[in-house]
Amino acid sequence: MTPSTPAHIPASRPLTLAAQPFDFNCDLASTALVIIDMQRDFIEPGGFGETLGNDVSLLSAIVPACRAVLTAWRHAGSLVVHTREAHHGDLSDCPPAKRNRGNPSLRIGDVGPMGRILVAGEPGNQIITELAPRPGEIVIDKPGKGAFYATPLHTLLGQANITHLVFMGVTTEVCVQTSMREANDRGYDSLLLTDCTESYFPRFKAATLEMTHAQGGIVGWTAPSAQLLAALAR
């Protein structure tokens, strides 16, 4: 899907929710929900995540919470962004250093049970059915860990006057954290929903949440999704 700025911009609606290190304030008119890499390759058995030796059931456990937030966010009419870690079929956007790293049984571009690993358009590269993008939502294929690297995301958010981001997705310490740090450097205020993100390594998730809101929110804010759902329902 070619990314484009959605025509619909909701009316101003300020939100305040309890978060760490202190309340997160935003306006739904200028806030986007960013869902990082909830693609079959990472979430479902037989995908790239499992070939790396990971327990993917840890990640699939967050799907109901993500779906509840996405449903409420869509109901509020605010901007939704989905990302996929995806490479061109010729792998021209995949540096050898990335492809050769580690020792997986399958590498990026190899044919796995869900098609070519992390290649755009392949079945394993699709966002899971429960969170499938709808027309008008932005879908970003990103060749890196961060959602802003080599993508039009910053331009599209600017065109939509977005200043605040709410993050969900996987994995917490890799693509989610990298994207939040990129967002921080570009001037966005970001909130990470603690029960809507997961890692194959629980201690890495815990450390990432702590380092996100430490030092007065040096990267951003963290809060459970119940806080956001309550604020949206008020």
Least CB distance to ligand C5J at residue 83 (A) = 8
Least CB distance to ligand C5J at residue 174 (A) = 3
Residue of 24, 22, 15 whose CA lies nearest to 189:
24
Q: Indicate the helix (H) or strand (E) that contains 35.
A: strand 31-36
Least CB distance to ligand C5J at residue 85 (A) = 5
Handedness of CA 171, 173, 177, 178 (dihedral sign): negative
- Cα angle 206, 119, 127 (rounded to 5 degrees) comes to 55
How far is it, in rounded angstroms, from Cα 197 to Cα 199? 7
SS3 99: helix
Count of positions on this chain that bind ligand C5J (CB under 6 A): 7
How far is it, in rounded angstroms, from Cα 46 to Cα 226? 32
The distance in angstroms from the start CA to the end CA of the chain is 34
Q: Which 78-97 residues touch ligand C5J, going by CB under 6 A?
A: 85
The catalytic residue positions are 37, 142, 175
Least CB distance to ligand C5J at residue 181 (A) = 13
Give a three-class secondary structure readout of 118-171: CECCCHHHCECHHHCCCCCCEEEEECCCCCCCCCCHHHHHHHCCCCEEEEEEEC
- Cα angle 11, 14, 17 (rounded to 5 degrees) comes to 140
Least CB distance to ligand C5J at residue 175 (A) = 3
With CB under 6 A as the contact rule, the residue among 37, 50, 122, 189 that binds ligand C5J is 37
Residue 127 binds ligand C5J, judged by CB under 6 A? no
How far is it, in rounded angstroms, from Cα 178 to Cα 7? 28
Cβ-based nearer residue to ligand C5J, 80 or 108: 108
- Site pattern 147..186 for ligand C5J (x: CB under 6 A): -----------------------xx--xx-----------
Question: Where does this chain bind ligand C5J (CB under 6 A)?
Answer: 37, 42, 85, 170-171, 174-175
